[in-house]
Amino acid sequence: MTRSENDTIAAVSTPAGSGGIAIIRLSGQDAFTIADKIVSGGKSGVLSAFVSKMADHTIAHGYVFDFSGEKPELIDECLVSKMEAPKTYTTENIVEINSHGGYSVVNKTLELLLRAGARAAEPGEFTKRAFLGGRIDLSGAEAVMDLINAKTENGRRAAVSGLSGRIGHEITEICNALTGALAGIDVSIEYPEYEFDEAVGKDALLVLESQIRRLKTLSDTYSQGRIAKEGIKIVIAGSPNAGKSTLMNVFCGTDRSIVTNVPGTTRDLIEEQVQLFGFPVILQDTAGIRQTSDIVEKIGVDRARDAISSADLLLYVIDAKAPVYDEPAPEAAGLRTIYVINKTDIEEDVSAVLKLLPEGADAVKISALTGEGVDSLFGRIKELFLLGTFDFTSETVITSERHKQLIDEALGLLDLCVESNRQGLPLDFVAEDLRLATDKLCEILGKNISDEVVDNIFRHFCVGK
């Protein structure tokens, strides 16, 4: 079957596997008549256009049948929801069948709908239709996916910022202001005989400067938005036996990594996701970095170095009793690093350690064994990354790299506009860059973008959403 946006699509919208119920969703012009072919109001399996006759936005009790054989075969007892376009998730007719959530019964129901004329939905196709139907802009559609994937409170709040339309609203307002300025400039270019070039230029400059400020504020939220969505990656590294795995376990609250007094205990990367102050943190415990001829340990040390190169924060653990500091990896030079001076329960004097560290090093004293100083370490991480001043519930926050990139590109072009204006260049110069900047911002909303970009965004959704 060739794919078309007019097809009626079907998919299981709940996760695979056994569950209390599962929802099979059908969306498109023919959703009701297709559902009519498999749903009956009674146990005897008489077809009577059951769904088509239901009142709009109601739920009814019914039965799913396979009518392909000589006698109707009862598949499941179900609840059917009917929602007529346009007040639906996709803006199209929707039917949702709540079935008993067994793997086989759900797949059988889906198979029957496909046989009755529906097409299997592609990943994110329901949400894509909501976008194409004009119910949400592209930033809203992207937020749906962020919300599904959110693993922490702040990730969820940041996604809601997009879903509630805050990003779309802000960008639309900025676009409108810029388009207004552009209209004034265009008039001035078209009717040069009126000679109000200078006044128009001044007005445009005011608009530009205020919208640049708004965009910069938005762009600056990305560092927090990205962390809320993706988390920070913290790598725990240091020399063997320094107490890295003990610290890892403190973060996890479980015995995630093996701890022994034998140097070289951890040989592979150990990864765990934890929450810190409502933010997702990806933690990696690594093999102690040292010169070794042991082939397995050597691979572990290489992996530790690779992990460091992609970290947001390095916790370099040093044993206060037997301090060793080896340059962990070339990439660590520019990396945010906290030097964790460990085992201070058995060695309080850390002056020898401090002498080893680079000048101005950010150091925290702890005992991973007793927990002493661990709160200060968490506090330091919070200061560095998770500034508590941001209110995800009310402020507009950018979490998408795509949005950030487009905003920054627009900012670059708007700066050029301001510069051309200041230099008194003809307004045509300003107009051209202003138009391009507005186009960039419109792309955030999904206007004037290629099908390829749209497809690429929805490809990352799950089937059924």
Ligand X SMILES: Nc1nc2c(ncn2[C@@H]2O[C@H](COP(=O)(O)OP(=O)(O)OP(=O)(O)O)[C@@H](O)[C@H]2O)c(=O)[nH]1
Which residues of this protein are in contact with ligand X, per CB under 6 A? Answer: 240-246, 259-261, 263-266, 288, 342-343, 345-346, 367-369
Both tokens of 144, joined, read: 């749906």
- Residue number, 99 or 245, with CB nearest to Mg ion: 245
Instruction: Give the one residue of 91, 152, 219, 245 binding Mg ion; rule: CB under 5 A.
Output: 245
**Among Mg ion, ligand X, none, partner that 368 touches (CB below 5 to 8 angstroms by kind):** ligand X
Beta strands (DSSP E) in 4-149 are: 9-12, 21-27, 39-40, 58-66, 73-83, 94-100, 119-120
Cβ partners under 8 Å of residue 452, min gap 6: none
Please report, for the chain, how many H helices and E strands are present, in that order.
16, 13
Phi, psi for residue 67 in degrees, rounded to 5: -100, 10
Q: CB of 110 within 8 A of CB of 10?
A: yes
Q: Is 93 one of the binding residues for Mg ion (CB under 5 A)? A: no
Q: CB of 204 within 8 A of CB of 281?
A: no
**Among Mg ion, ligand X, none, partner that 172 touches (CB below 5 to 8 angstroms by kind):** none
Pairwise CA distance, residues 301 & 62, whole Å: 61
Q: CB of 381 within 8 A of CB of 312?
A: no
Q: CB of 80 within 8 A of CB of 51?
A: yes
CB of 265 to Mg ion, least distance (A): 5
CB of 304 to ligand X, least distance (A): 9
- Residue number, 225 or 240, with CB nearest to ligand X: 240
CB of 365 to Mg ion, least distance (A): 20
Strands 9-12 and 119-120, by their bridges, are parallel
Place of tokens 């003990």: 246
CB of 284 to Mg ion, least distance (A): 11
- Residue number, 139 or 266, with CB nearest to Mg ion: 266
The count of chain residues that interact with Mg ion, using the rule CB under 5 A, is 4
- Residue number, 23 or 259, with CB nearest to ligand X: 259
**Among ligand X, Mg ion, none, partner that 367 touches (CB below 5 to 8 angstroms by kind):** ligand X
- Residue number, 75 or 368, with CB nearest to ligand X: 368
- Residue number, 373 or 446, with CB nearest to ligand X: 373
Rg of the chain in Å (alpha carbons): 30
CB of 245 to Mg ion, least distance (A): 3
Cβ partners under 8 Å of residue 90, min gap 6: 27, 126, 127, 129, 130, 133, 135
Instruction: Give the one residue of 139, 249, 266, 421 binding Mg ion; rule: CB under 5 A.
Output: 266
Dihedral sign from CA coordinates of 260, 266, 272, 277 = positive
**Among ligand X, Mg ion, none, partner that 246 touches (CB below 5 to 8 angstroms by kind):** ligand X
CB of 239 to Mg ion, least distance (A): 11
CB of 108 to Mg ion, least distance (A): 50
- Residue number, 108 or 244, with CB nearest to Mg ion: 244
349 burial (CB, 10 Å; 0-12 / 13-18 / 19+) is exposed
Place of tokens 């059924």: 464
Q: Is 241 one of the binding residues for Mg ion (CB under 5 A)? A: no
CB of 8 to Mg ion, least distance (A): 56
Name the residue with the smallest CB distance to ligand X. Answer: 288
Amino acid at 93: N
- Residue number, 19 or 263, with CB nearest to ligand X: 263
How crowded is residue 370: how many other Cβ atoms within 10 Å of its Cβ?
Answer: 12
CB of 248 to ligand X, least distance (A): 7
- Residue number, 7 or 347, with CB nearest to ligand X: 347
**Among Mg ion, ligand X, none, partner that 369 touches (CB below 5 to 8 angstroms by kind):** ligand X
Q: CB of 301 within 8 A of CB of 287?
A: yes
| Pick from 43, 99, 103: nearest CA to 73 | 43
Residues engaged in binding Mg ion (CB under 5 A): 244-245, 265-266
